[in-house]
Structures are given as C-alpha cells and as structure tokens.
Amino acid sequence: MEIESKNIIIDFEPISRRVFFSNDNSFYEILSELNIPIRSICGGLGTCGKCKILVQSGNKYLNPPTSAEKKVINETELENGWRLACETKINKNQILQLEKIKPPQFRIFLPNELLLEDFNILTTGLNKRVKFQSAIQKIYVEGKKPSLKEPDPDFERILTALFSAIPSLEMNKQLSIDFNILNSIPNILRENDHKITLTLWDNANIIACEPGNTTEENFGIAFDIGTTTIVGYLINLNNGKIYSVDSKLNSQTAFGEDLITRLTFINENKENLQKLNAAVINDLNDIILNTTSKANINPYQIYEATVVGNSVMHHIFLGLNPVNIGLSPFIPVIRRNLNVKARNLNLNISKNGNVYTAPLIAGFVGADTIGVILSSQIEKEKELTLAIDIGTNGEIIIGNRKILAVGSCAAGSALEGAHIKDGMRAAAGSIDTININPKNLEVSYTTIKNKKPIGICGSGLVDVTAEMLKSKIITRSGNFNQDIIDHERFIKKDNKKIEFILVKNEQTSLNKDITISQGDIRQIQLAKAAFYSGSRIIMKHLGKNLKIEQVYLAGAFGNYINAHNAKFIGMIPDISDNKIFQIGNAAGIGAQHCLLNKSIRNKAQLLLSKIQYVEIAVEKEFQKEYAEAMYFPHLNLDFFPSLTEYDDIPKR
Amino acid sequence: MEIESKNIIIDFEPISRRVFFSNDNSFYEILSELNIPIRSICGGLGTCGKCKILVQSGNKYLNPPTSAEKKVINETELENGWRLACETKINKNQILQLEKIKPPQFRIFLPNELLLEDFNILTTGLNKRVKFQSAIQKIYVEGKKPSLKEPDPDFERILTALFSAIPSLEMNKQLSIDFNILNSIPNILRENDHKITLTLWDNANIIACEPGNTTEENFGIAFDIGTTTIVGYLINLNNGKIYSVDSKLNSQTAFGEDLITRLTFINENKENLQKLNAAVINDLNDIILNTTSKANINPYQIYEATVVGNSVMHHIFLGLNPVNIGLSPFIPVIRRNLNVKARNLNLNISKNGNVYTAPLIAGFVGADTIGVILSSQIEKEKELTLAIDIGTNGEIIIGNRKILAVGSCAAGSALEGAHIKDGMRAAAGSIDTININPKNLEVSYTTIKNKKPIGICGSGLVDVTAEMLKSKIITRSGNFNQDIIDHERFIKKDNKKIEFILVKNEQTSLNKDITISQGDIRQIQLAKAAFYSGSRIIMKHLGKNLKIEQVYLAGAFGNYINAHNAKFIGMIPDISDNKIFQIGNAAGIGAQHCLLNKSIRNKAQLLLSKIQYVEIAVEKEFQKEYAEAMYFPHLNLDFFPSLTEYDDIPKR
C-alpha cells in the first residue's frame, strides 16, 4: 500500500501549526499559502538568504541543498539541518522509495527573526499600585582635590563626598565597591575635574563609577521567562516608569516545545544545558538591545534586572542543572531569592549590575507563581481567591490574607494549541472567538488581525467547546451528540472518524476545512479537568469549610478567553461572572514589582514560609476528582447551580 | 686615554654585589670566584641551560650568543637580554672600540631560581599572644535525603543541616553562597550519600563545598610582601599553628630595585603594571606551592590569605595603579581594608577564598606598618615606644596607649647594601659583625654561613661605623681622622681617595681588599640621620613634653644589628640597652595576626582614625634636624648623655 500524501504531516514550530503534504511546493510557498508571512527580500528567488529555517526532522526526504543555499549557509549549519525555505521542498519519490508503511513526519522550526508577524505575547495586565523604592541609586558627587595637607586616597575622598551627600550611608560599615571598578577611579577623577557619578546597590555596594553627572540615565529591566515566550520591561529607576517593552518567543523552543522535552535534552549530554542557557541569555540580550534602542539608552546603564520564570526556566537561566526537577521527588537546586552579578550570567547590562531571581515554591511551581502572587496581592485579599495562571504549564493558587496554597497541573499546553488537530498559538490568522447558532449550527468567528483563518487558538477552543455544548453538538461527557451527526456540518473521515466543520475549505487559507474532532474535545476535557480538580484538591487540602469567592485568570490565555465560557465548560468554579477577573501577565508584573520596590523581595522570600505546596497528583482523591471533572461542567451538576442551560444538554 | 679594566663595573642583582672587570672570564666563572654558587648541572659547559641570567645593561659589549645558547634560549628571550652565564663574557676590545671616555657599567640580574644559597630573609619575630578566631570555618553536614513529603531543594536541605549544626547562623539573614559553586551541590550530595563539608567565611558566605568530611584540611596563608623579599606563612585554621614558612626575593626586583624605579617603569607603559602584578602573583603562587607541598596539602584547601606590604606593593599586588603614590601629594587609590576573592587576583588558593589586605596609612606608609603596629601592639603600651621598621624603605612609629603617630624616611636602602662600595644584602659570605681593636686597628669579623667574605651587609655597616668611632678612625662629623691616616690599614686610591681596609685581599673571595671609603661613611650618616631626625620631627609634631621610653627594632636589618651600636652611631635615641627590643619581622607577624583573628582586621581599620601621619620631609625644621643628626651620635651630645666614649672622639 502506498503512503498517501494526506498522511504526511508537516509541523511548523514554534507556532504549532500542522499541515499535510499536498504538492511539491517549497516551504516558502507552503508558508505563503498558509498566510504565515516570513522574512525575505528577494521574494523566494534564493538570493537574499533571509528565509532560513531549521529542519528538525524529515531531512532525508528533502531535495539536497542547492548551490544557492551553499552560498549563504555554511557546511556545519547545513549538517545541522538549516535550509532556505525557498529552496527546500519535500521529495515524495524519496519518501516512497524509503518508506513503505509509516508516513514520515516533518518538523520545521521557524526562528524568531524569520517570522514577520508579531505573536500575541501578553505584556500588560492588572497593575496594583506599588510603592516605588528602587534598590539602585545613582549619586553625583564632586570629590575634593587632594593636597599634602589632606592626602586622602581617591576612594576615601569619594566616600567623604558620598557621605556628605547621603549622611545615612556613613552608618553602613559594610559599604563596599566592586573590585573590578576600583582601578578606574583615579583616571575618572583626574580627567573629569573630580566629578563622578556612583551607582549604589541596596545602600551597600558601589557597582559603577561614571565620569561626570549621569544620574539621569538610571534603568532596570524586569523579565518574565516563560517556557514559550519571554517578555522584558525596561523601567526608569528614577521614576518607576516603563520606558519600553519587548517580547519574543523563547529560542529554547528549538530544542523542545515543553519542559519535559528540554529536561530530557539536558540529561542526554553535558553541553546541552549550556546550549539552552545560551539560548535564553541570547534572547534576554536581544530584548535588552531592543528595549534600550527604543528608549535610546546605553544597555550598560541598566543596573538591575529582576527575573521570574518557572523552576526549570529559572534554573536554565542561572545555568543550574534542572534535571532533578523532572524526576520524582522533583527537587530544585535552590529555592530562595538570589542576587547574582550580571557579568556571571553574561547578561549585557552593567557588568556589576545585580540580577535578582524571585524564589521558587517547589519543583513545578516556580518564581512565575511568586510573581503572580506578588502582583495580584492575593495574600492581602479578604475574599478567598482562586488564581490560575495558564501558560504552557498551569499553576493554581488559592488564598486570602489568612491562608495561601499552591499546586501545579501539566495541563496548559493543549490550550496553546498542542495536541489539537487544528490548534495553534495565538498568532495572526488564529480563530480567537466563536459563536454557534443553536438553530442551524452556523458558525461565526473572529480571527487575530482579521486574517483568513488558519487554525484555532486557546480562547477559540474554550469558545467552541462552550458553543458546541449550548448547541447540543456535544454532550456533557464530551461525545458528539449522536442525534445530530447527520447534519451537513459533520464530515466522516476515513469512513469512521466524525469531525465538526468549523470553517469550510473555501474560507480558509489552507487547502482544507478547519474542524473539531472527538480527540480535540478530549484534550480540552483533560485540560479543564486538570484545573478544576486541581483547585478541588487544594481546597480539600486546606480542609476547612471554605468557598472560593473570586477568580483571577492570569497569563495570555487567561486574558483572552471568554471568562463565562471558561466557567461554562467547568474549568473554574461557579461564581458570579463579575467576580472573575482577568489579570493579564501577572507574573511579568510581579517581576516589575520586584524591580520597583526592593522590599517586595523580602516579602517574596517570606511568602515561602506561608505558602502550602500541594503535590496534586499524589493526593489520594486525585483520580476520582479528575474523572468527575472530565464532564461538562462536572459530573455533579450541584457544583454549578447557576448554569441552568445544562438541564437540556444530554449527559452521555 | 684608554679605559681601564678596574673602572668597568659589574653589578650583580638582586644581591647588590658590585665587582670590577678583571679578565675575560665568563660570568659563570666570575660568580664562582665570588663564591656565589649558582645552579648548573653541566658545570659550565653550556649544555644544561640552567645558568640563565638577564643582562639588563651592557649587552653590546658582550660576545654574541653562541650556538649553545641558541639551543636553549629562544629568540625573544635573547633579544630581551637573557644569556647563559657560562657562555657569556665581556669583550674588552669591543668596549675600547665603542667607548673612548666613559667606562661602561654592567647590570646582571640573577633570577631567583638560579641562586642556590638561601638569602637571610627574616621570617620570625616577637609574637605577642593573639586570641584565635579564624574567619574560616569548615562544617561537615549530612543532608537529609529528599522525598515527596519533604521536597526541599538541595541548597535549602543543606542549610537546614547547617543551622542544626550551628543554630546561631540561622539568625543571619544574609547567609549566601558563592554562585559559582551552587551548581556543584546536586552531584556532591547524590554521589556522596548527602555528606558534604561547607566552608564558611565570616559566618556569612559559603565559599566552598566539598564531598565528604574534609574539615581537617583547613588552611590560611599570611603574606608579607616587601619591596625586596616576600614571606609566606601557611597556617592551620583549625588550631592556629604555623605549618610551614617560605620566602623568596621579590621578582619585581628584575624591573627595578626600589619603589621609585618601579613606579617610573609603570608610568612608561600601560602593560608594565600587569608585568609587575604578574611577577608578584607568581611569587605568591610559588610560595603557596612550596608551603603546601611541605605540609602535604592541596593549595585549594587554603581558604583565606592575608597580605601586608607597603603602599606600592599593596597596589601592584591588587593590580591597582600606584603611580599617584609616587607624585606629590602621594595619593593611593584606596586606603581601607579590602576583601577580594582569590579568583579575581589569580591567586592559586580556593577560587572563592578571601584575600584580605590590611589598610594603608598614607602614600609611603603602608599596610606593612599597620602589620608592625598590630603585632607589636604599641597602641596598648604604657611606655612611649619608638618602633622603626628598617627595610628598603624605613618607617617610624611613635606611640603608646594614648597617642600614635607615624612617618616614613627613604633611608633604608643604604643599610641593604645599596650605594655602599662593598655593601651587599645579608647573604652567604657577607660580613655581619665586626670588632676593631682600638690599639692596633686589627679587625675581627664574622660572616653569614662562615663563608670567605665577599662584602658587608647592613649589620656589619653599623658595627664598622661604631667600631671606627670607638677606635677614633673616624671623627664625629664622619671624616677619617687625619691623625692616623698613615696607618698601614689605610690605602690611597688614585692618589687621592683614602679607604680603610677592613679585610685584606688574600682573605677575601674577591680579587681585592674589602674597604670602607669616605663615601660609604656618608651613606651611613645619611641613613642613620634620616631615622633619628625623623623620630625627632614626629616627637615635635606630637608637641607635648614627651620622652621615648623604649625602642622596637623591626625588620630583618633591625633584627640582626647590634642594638647598642645602632644607638652608639646615633640612629636611635639614648635609652638603656635593656629597653631596646628586636622584634623581628613584625609586619609579617601582623599579617599572621590578621589571619588568626578576624576581629584584628576591624582594629586595623579603626587604628586609621587614631594614627597621626606626619609628612616628615615637609615639616619646616626637617633640614636643620637632619643636618644636626648627621653627626655621630648627634651635633648636640646632650642628647646622648650615656655615651661617655664620645668625650675622647674628635668632632671634625
């Protein structure tokens, strides 16, 4: 039996877009047809060398590198799978010759610099007010010139001037200077009429000396390192204002989409940790360059960086080996706050600049969760609050001013498009909101940037599930409703698998319908059940007669979904819609808060002793809770008394 | 007029031995005749390549490099003046051809590794008791293994074990770990049954983590970096005992004998500071290697080093530019205590080991003087004490429990043999004690290591001056006594200059008499007057009606001289001989004290505010005081009432 074209899969990463092989077009042409615009100056003629892609699997079924490619890609790169999109195509004859039974699967990585369309990376969010108290202070002093009568050494004369500017400093016996800048002082003083600007960290450590008065140029940067996306906020540390923001896809994606893949990669080879570390450091340095050039400042006048990220991202960023996080009992190297000199991390800010990493809570609940708590200030709430941060991993926080508990669930990736047949990340052309008319099952939808649709992103998936329920296309157990599967919106694939057509062939940029399969619904059920059962387990762990009174939805996904529909499918508890708040990139805002107010870092450390960590999957009731939560909205409808629509929706 | 051989000078450094050209022997042969044994395996046949010397001036009058030399010395080295002593000789014809009037002067540097005889470098001294309180603590802990019930991260589990071992540490919120060792913890724990030894600095900073129990191996090293000599003391930090001592000549001598020459050298070229820094760091690393191999320990189990040295040595050691110390108003870069990580200085001890440098007092009164004060504990004395540290530079300290003042005089080098015709450092074959029979002017003497004499070292110079006074060979103004210059012990050189023969030709290893010239006596007068007038100026500066009650003589020279004779020539005030104490290498012992007791470092810093620094040469009475002190023992005999011998000694 010959392998059929329609069974040959091409996955484009990191946008998680899957297509099937159809003709012998180049990858450049395939991407153009998908309406995914990529960088090219020559328009696909093979001359500009801009459309470089990384073939991560399927290399042997491609045409060999052309002379045009050999001109712009070196041998090592070619060996590693780098090609020009416009010169590379799939050779079906080669496939037929090499493979008899199993259809091949291609994985094509599109590097950051190739993608023209910005991804929808969430950078903003609810920003509770925080007192401004930077750890960085720049102080301009004019040193006294030395004489035989007053022959004080250079450093001591500067200190005298500094103490007369800020008398309270003199009490700090531990005031020190970074040794590597000490030797620059004599020349700065003598060449600049003894005028010098000192940068002081935490009232304790002189980390920079600059000639003249440079107090105006005083910056910090806050980073949120996600598994998939990275955001950086450049902040003026004289006034606390955000000067510019930049974000990009995490280049580590080239080595693995999710944390487990990356941990496996690190375990394979000693040098792989360095590769991932270099990838994330390069990303941060890119963001530093972009934000500073937007603000027209020198990167070396950034004196502090604060970082949040999940435990694995935290470790890789610091160059710490995270492999034990991936193995039971899931042990990080270190949990607490860390302050590390930028030079030790190769971060291109001031060489003695301080890099602060917020503390981790546990193996899979990281500094990003601390960031969410800090920015949402759950620990000050009177009402018991459930906060869920939905990224590639999901974290659940339940707390108020008295109690605080967290847990994690590996459930987010479905909602970023992984494992969903026509799923994709929130990017141009992805369907983000959906309505289904229950009478005729007509579908209306919107897409990001109003492009022709090419797939469905997370918020679209929540919508489509809720709408299919309301239209009784699916039952509470997630099955297609057998009563209506003869409707023209259904197609039968391979004579067996039924799919619901969301967008018809002719309306898409693809060569095919965009559909929802039974398998897709199962993935959504698994994801939403993980969140719901997770929060139930934590509530039971807290033990008392408690009730969730408000919900915070954090993260990009949490920000864009229809909150009511999230409740409707049973992802979050049944509370009034006006008590559900979408708080945006709360982790990133937590990083900003740490930068804006140094005492928040002590708070972060102190939170650790307050937080109860619940290892959800090992609690004995987990299996039962998880199974019950697979139903829409739940096996027990009593948990969702407000959703009266369910009275009409069949159970099985 | 032809240049005469006897006018052609050859100076061998760093031993400060001057000879005159006599025949066309190789330098190897000249050194052998001088009884200065140097390293050679082949015995001067040009085959072993061990007898490398550096020709610092006079290169153009030498035979060209031989084929034997080209085999063992590379081209760059040859260009820089490196030769084999056994293959190199002075070509007198070349001299006569190139020079008509001025006789050339050769300067030959003998590297440390060439000299076989140990120099008399003083390493011991008066050691006042000091409480043992090391900054370094090694603590063995057994970490708890992690579990799902107790999933604390690796570092936090170690801390828990540490806090249970030393509960007081838990109070220190600032307890930190050097970032570069954090990543080693997971493997150490898992490969060693969670048994680990932590090294803690100052109760605040974990600087090393070693597998298993290594608490026994806990060392520190104290360094005294002199202009000419360096001493290192390896000390066990579990019990405060000295394990081994090593010393060597400061390799910086190859770039200049004294501080001013080295400062000029640094000023010439940006890279020269690095050269001097590398030289001293190499010396310290050699001492580290020697002391640890004697004690059979690993250099990386030295966790702390303490360093004293004069201001220029302090700066060069730290890589700080010292040129402003050499220019009025003599400004160092920094004065205070410094703690620097060993890795930043390329010192081959534990990479995170702490290197402590004691504070400087002023431009030319450095951390070595602080070391003298700390070890002699002058600031606790009831009696007003004069301490003089006689090295290549001289420092004067006057103080007791109420007052403390210091000054410096550039007077020591004469007493190390410089500028003295037959002077040399205290090395094998140098005359160190002298007696002259006043009746017949017969001279008896001893030499170091009982070798045939080749020159006079500092203690010999003090003795010979006192003895010549007592025998009325010289007058109180330092002139040869005209009444007895017809004695057979006098010779007339060039029909004009009179010299006193100390050792006759046939008794020496040289080809000539060892003599004292009028010029030599002037040098001694200048040196002793500098010390005496310096202490007078400081006393006047203190102003009150004070009297010096005891004298401490520090430094190698101070240790070996006849203290009574030092008083007799008027170098120190007229106090009872039993109140003059020779306290040895007090600076080095000060470094030891800093290593043994961390609180002494605070004391060192606090001393700075107590010490009055007197810039002796700018005080207005200096010229007059200096001139009066040129007399033996002084112009005003009332200052030395106990020296009744002077009644008979002519004044002019």
DSSP per-residue string spanning B181-218? HHTTHHHHHHHTTTEEEEEEETTTEEEEEEES--TT--
B532 with B643, same domain? yes
A331 touches B: beta carbon within 8 Å: yes
Residue A206 counted as domain residue:
yes
Quote the number of domains for chain A. Answer: 5
Q: Do the strands B242-249 and B302-309 form a parallel or antiparallel pair, or are they unpaired?
A: unpaired
Closest partner residue to B333 among A182, A341, A362, by Cβ?
A182
- B206, β-bridge pairs: B177, B200
SS3 of residue B567 by DSSP: helix
SS3 of residue B482 by DSSP: helix
A516 with A631, same domain? no
How many whole angstroms separate alpha carbon A190 and alpha carbon B57?
36
B362 touches A: beta carbon within 8 Å: yes
State the alpha helices, DSSP H only, in B418-517: 458-470
Q: Do the strands B229-236 and B195-201 form a parallel or antiparallel pair, or are they unpaired?
A: unpaired
A537 with A423, same domain? no
Q: If you search the block for the tokens 């003087």, which residue do you land on? A: B369
* B41-59 tens-digit pLDDT: 676 777 777 788 888 888 8
Can you give the pLDDT at residue B80? 83
A200 with A232, same domain? no
User: How many other CB atoms are found less than 10 A from the CB of residue A346?
Assistant: 13
User: A30 versus A43: which is more confidently predicted?
Assistant: A30
Q: Which of B613, B632, B526 is nearest to B574 (CA)?
A: B632
Q: If you search the block for the tokens 């508990």, which residue do you land on? A: A405
SS3 of residue A469 by DSSP: helix
Can you give the pLDDT at residue A41? 66
Strand order in the sheet with A176-177: A136-142, A195-201, A205-211, A176-177
Q: Which of B353, B227, B340, B222 is nearest to A183 (CA)?
A: B340
A101 with A245, same domain? no
B359 touches A: beta carbon within 8 Å: no
A444 with A308, same domain? no
CB within 8 Å of B143: residues ≥ 6 apart: B154, B157, B158, B160, B161, B189, B194, B195, B196
User: How many other CB atoms are found less than 10 A from the CB of residue B102?
Assistant: 8
Give the CATH number of the domain where residue B69 resides. 3.10.20.30
| Sign of the torsion formed by the C-alpha atoms of B625, B631, B637 and B642 | positive
Q: Tell me if A197 sits within 8 A of A139, measured CB to CB.
A: yes
pLDDT-derived band at A120, boundaries 50, 70, 90? low
DSSP A243-284: EEEEEEE-GGGGG-SSHHHHHHHHHH-HHHHHHHHHHHHHHH
How many whole angstroms separate alpha carbon A146 and alpha carbon A91?
79
Q: Tell me if B272 sits within 8 A of B265, measured CB to CB.
A: yes
Residue A544 has pLDDT above 90, yes or no: no
Residue B408 counted as domain residue:
yes
Q: What is the mean pLDDT of residues A558-568?
A: 89
A536 with A405, same domain? yes
Q: Tell me if A425 sits within 8 A of A14, measured CB to CB.
A: yes
Residue A578 counted as domain residue:
yes
* A182 contacts on B by Cβ (under 8 Å): 318, 320, 333-334
Q: If you search the block for the tokens 């240049």, which residue do you land on? A: B3
Residue A389 counted as domain residue:
yes
A533 with A404, same domain? yes
How many whole angstroms separate alpha carbon B232 and alpha carbon B308?
11
ipTM: 0.83
A399 with A426, same domain? no
Among residues A171, A194, A211, the one where a domain terminates is A211
Both tokens assigned to B197: 């030894």
* Residue A13 parent element (H or E): strand A9-13
Closest partner residue to B182 among A183, A320, A328, by Cβ?
A320
Q: φ, ψ for residue A474 (rounded to 5)? A: -120, 160
Amino acid at A477: S
Interchain contact, B154 vs A336, CB within 8 Å: no
Q: What is the mean pLDDT of residues A549-560?
A: 86
Residue A370 counted as domain residue:
no
Give the CATH number of the domain where residue B343 resides. 3.30.420.480
Q: φ, ψ for residue B422 (rounded to 5)? A: -105, 25
CB within 8 Å of B171: residues ≥ 6 apart: none
User: Domain of A401?
Assistant: 378-410+529-646
How many whole angstroms separate alpha carbon B592 and alpha carbon B577?
29
B327 touches A: beta carbon within 8 Å: no
Interchain contact, A179 vs B153, CB within 8 Å: no
User: A114 versus B316: which is more confidently predicted?
Assistant: B316
Can you give the pLDDT at residue B35? 66
* Residue B600 parent element (H or E): helix B599-610
Both tokens assigned to A254: 């080239």
Among residues B158, B188, B211, the one where a domain terminates is B211
Q: Which of A149, A152, A179 to mutate to test the interface with B (most CBs of B within 10 A)?
A: A179
A608 with A487, same domain? no
Ramachandran assignment for A612, one of left (phi > 0), alpha (psi -120 to 50 degrees), beta (any other): beta
Whether the ω angle into residue A14 lies within 30 degrees of 0, i.e. cis, is yes
Residue B430 counted as domain residue:
no
Q: Tell me if A215 sits within 8 A of A239, measured CB to CB.
A: no
B251 with B106, same domain? no
Find the range with the poorest average confidence among A88-92, A116-120, A156-160, B234-238.
Answer: A116-120
Interchain contact, A153 vs B360, CB within 8 Å: yes
Residue A264 counted as domain residue:
yes
The b/e string for A13-27 (b: 16+ C-beta within 10 A; e otherwise) is bbbbbbbebbeeebb
Can you give the pLDDT at residue A47? 75
Interchain contact, A335 vs B186, CB within 8 Å: no
Q: Which of residues 81-120 of B touch A (CB under 8 A)?
A: none
* A330 contacts on B by Cβ (under 8 Å): 148, 151
* A54-112 tens-digit pLDDT: 888 888 889 999 988 988 888 888 888 889 998 999 888 888 888 777 778 888 888 76
Residue A126 counted as domain residue:
no
How many whole angstroms separate alpha carbon A115 and alpha carbon A121?
14
Can you give the pLDDT at residue B422? 86
Can you give the pLDDT at residue B403? 94
Strand order in the sheet with A52-57: A17-20, A9-13, A105-109, A52-57, A82-84
Ramachandran assignment for A35, one of left (phi > 0), alpha (psi -120 to 50 degrees), beta (any other): left
DSSP A176-226: EE-HHHHTTHHHHHHHTTTEEEEEEETTTEEEEEEES--TT--EEEEEEE-
Q: Do the strands B82-84 and B52-57 form a parallel or antiparallel pair, or are they unpaired?
A: antiparallel
Among residues B188, B211, B234, the one where a domain terminates is B211
Q: What is the mean pLDDT of residues A496-501?
A: 87
Instruction: Point out the residues of chain B with pLDDT beneath 50.
Output: none
* A576-591 tens-digit pLDDT: 998 999 888 899 999 9
B191 with B94, same domain? no
Can you give the pLDDT at residue A336? 94
* B336 contacts on A by Cβ (under 8 Å): 155-156
Chain B residue closest to A320 (CA)? B183
